[in-house]
Amino acid sequence: MSAVTKAAPSHGKLDIKFRNVRGKTSLVDCYQQPPLKASRALYIEGTRKATVYLMESSGGLVAGDRNDFTVELEENTEVVLKPQSATKVYPAFNNQPSEQTITIHIGENSHLEWNRDEIIPFERAKFNGKSRVQMTNSSSLLWNEIIYSGREKRGEKFAFQECNTHLEVWMEAECVVYDSLKLHPKEQELQQLSVLEDFNYIGNLWFICSEASKVDSTEFQKLLVQTENHKSGISTLDGKGILVRWLSNNLPLIKREMETLDMHLLTK
Q: For strand 98-106 and strand 66-73, is the pairing parallel, antiparallel, or unpaired?
A: parallel
Domain assignment of residue 6, yes or no:
no
pLDDT in tens, 182-241: 999 988 776 664 558 789 999 999 999 998 888 887 888 889 999 999 999 999 998 899
> CA end-to-end span of the chain, whole Å?
68
Position 253 confidence tier, pLDDT thresholds 50, 70, 90: very high
Contact 49, 79 (CB under 8 A): yes
Could you tell me which of 108, 98, 95, 23 has the C-alpha nearest to residue 64? 98
Q: How many residues does the chain have?
A: 268
User: What integer pLDDT is reported at residue 16 of this predicted model?
Assistant: 99
In the chain, how many domains are there? 1
Domain assignment of residue 4, yes or no:
no
254 Cβ contact partners less than 8 Å away, ≥ 6 residues apart = 146, 201, 203, 230, 246, 248
Rounded distance between C-alpha atoms, residue 60 and residue 64, angstroms: 12
pLDDT in tens, 78-87: 999 999 999 9
In the predicted model, what is the mean pLDDT of the chain? 92
pLDDT in tens, 114-162: 998 899 999 999 999 999 999 999 999 999 999 999 998 888 999 999 9
Task: Give ∠ CA 5-99-206 in degrees, rounded to 5.
Answer: 155
Domain assignment of residue 40, yes or no:
yes
Task: Annotate 142-164 with b (16+ C-beta within 10 A) or e (fewer).
Answer: bbbbbbbbbeeeeebbbbbbbbb
Domain assignment of residue 1, yes or no:
no
Rounded distance between C-alpha atoms, residue 252 and residue 250, angstroms: 6
At residue 93, does pLDDT exceed 90?
no
The average pLDDT across 4-14 equals 76
Domain assignment of residue 244, yes or no:
yes
User: What integer pLDDT is reported at residue 145 of this predicted model?
Assistant: 97
At residue 169, does pLDDT exceed 60?
yes
Domain assignment of residue 2, yes or no:
no
Rounded distance between C-alpha atoms, residue 47 and residue 25, angstroms: 10
Q: What is the three-class DSSP state of 150?
A: coil
Position 245 confidence tier, pLDDT thresholds 50, 70, 90: very high
Domain that holds residue 47: 11-266
Position 2 confidence tier, pLDDT thresholds 50, 70, 90: very low
Domain assignment of residue 172, yes or no:
yes
Domain assignment of residue 253, yes or no:
yes
When mean pLDDT is compared across 67-76, 92-101, 212-221, 251-260, the lowest value belongs to: 212-221
Contact 229, 192 (CB under 8 A): no
pLDDT in tens, 39-80: 999 999 878 899 999 999 998 999 899 999 999 999 999 999
Could you tell me which of 153, 149, 142 has the C-alpha nearest to residue 127? 149
